[in-house]
Copies of this chain bind each other. A is one copy, B any other.
Amino acid sequence: MSHKADGDEFDRIARFFAPLAEASDGAMGLTDDAALFETAGGRGTVVTADALVAGVHFPENESPALIARKLLRVNLSDLAAMGAVPRAYLLVLALPEQVDDDWLEAFSAGLKEDQESFGVTLIGGDMVATPGPLTLSLTLLGEAGEQGVMVRSGARAGDVVFVSGTIGDAALGLRVLEGELTGPDREAADFLCARYRLPEPRLELGRRLRGVARAGVDISDGLAADLGHICEVSGVGARLDASRTPLSPATQAALDADPSLMEVILGGGDDYEILFTAAPEREPEIMALGGEIGLQLTAVGTILEGEGVAVEDGEGGEIVLNHPGYKHF
């Protein structure tokens, strides 16, 4: 969610900013969710930053506590995808005049709630005035594990592609919030909106996948797009079987009512589930892990030689996505 910009941002990043990152191994060409910062003699510091803008990434009148928690969680999700342990964060706020103390109090309460849940603490930042919309950015620092981190570039032909949780809920939730999807009943609509508004970073899964998965990413740009990111930096292709995509009951019901929503489900972002690849012989271990941590893990595709992501409909046809997701660095 925090990564949305024009489709050519990825090119701009490659062109203007990746050259600035060449000297750092830890920057990994700016293609990963977080950067590894090696300190002398110590375990690596893992650091990520994401921004949210009012009216772009959340409605102007969104609850301040939810904004705070989402800001923290989209960053936590980046560390989850690296298998890192989050520790501390810096917060940068550009505040319009109308943001008052009540707003800040609710905002800080949201932060407090989530920092206690996730074991992180604020350590610094900046606060400035802006004549524009509320703009927030957060830098999250964490620690790499003894086995290092999980990166995007490790996928190999033959790997199985797995995904955690269910896919498409957040994209449908956004459509509900925007009034574009009116079919779901109240309970289903609430579920979908909650999935959009407050993602659940998969930190435990990420930590447990270190040394098990070969490549991983959190789904912020869409299942197909984020698999594409893994393929691009790993130098491989992939086949995604759309019929195996894990769907919540609410999303399944919406899809049954309107099969064209499959494109939104596969192309929309903001689920913040973890997409990862592993050697086929790891599958039993991975299924057992899912049971152990109480999180559905589903095999949805295969890594292939070549390039690009082919999305199959499970009946021998191919689905062409017109909306391949957003880009970021």
Contacts and interface: CB of A to CB of B under 8 A. Distances in A.
A185 interface: no
Given A39-B143, A41-B43, A16 B124 contact: no
Contacts of A41: 41-43
A17 B104 CA distance: 9
Nearest to A133: B132
A203 to B, nearest CB: 18
A6 interface: yes
Given A20-B111, A37-B88, A122-B30, A132 B129 contact: no
Contacts of A3: 126-128
Contact of A131 (B55, B88, B108, B139): B55
Contacts of A52: 128
A150 interface: no
Contact of A94 (B12, B53, B129): B53
A128 B221 CA distance: 13
Interface residues of A, number: 76
Looking at chain A's contact residues, the main secondary structure is: mixed
Interface in A73-126: 87-88, 90-92, 94-95, 101, 104-105, 107-108, 111-112, 115, 121-126
Contacts of A4: 128-129
A24 interface: yes
A293 interface: no
Contacts of A128: 2-5, 51-53, 56-57
Given A42-B43, A92-B137, A130-B56, A124 B51 contact: no
Interface string A55-68: 11100000000000
Interface string A1-35: 01111100100110111011111101100101011
Contact of A135 (B17, B40, B49, B132): B132
Central interface residue in A12, A32, A105, by most chain B CB within 10 Å: A12
A16 to B, nearest CB: 4
A155 B44 CA distance: 33
A112 B21 CA distance: 10
18 contacts: A3-B126, A12-B104, A16-B107, A17-B108, A20-B111, A32-B124, A37-B123, A37-B141, A39-B44, A41-B41, A41-B43, A42-B42, A49-B90, A49-B124, A51-B94, A51-B137, A56-B128, A92-B137
Interface of A: 2-6, 9, 12-13, 15-17, 19-24, 26-27, 30, 32, 34-35, 37, 39-45, 47-53, 55-57, 87-88, 90-92, 94-95, 101, 104-105, 107-108, 111-112, 115, 121-133, 135, 137, 139, 141, 143, 328-329
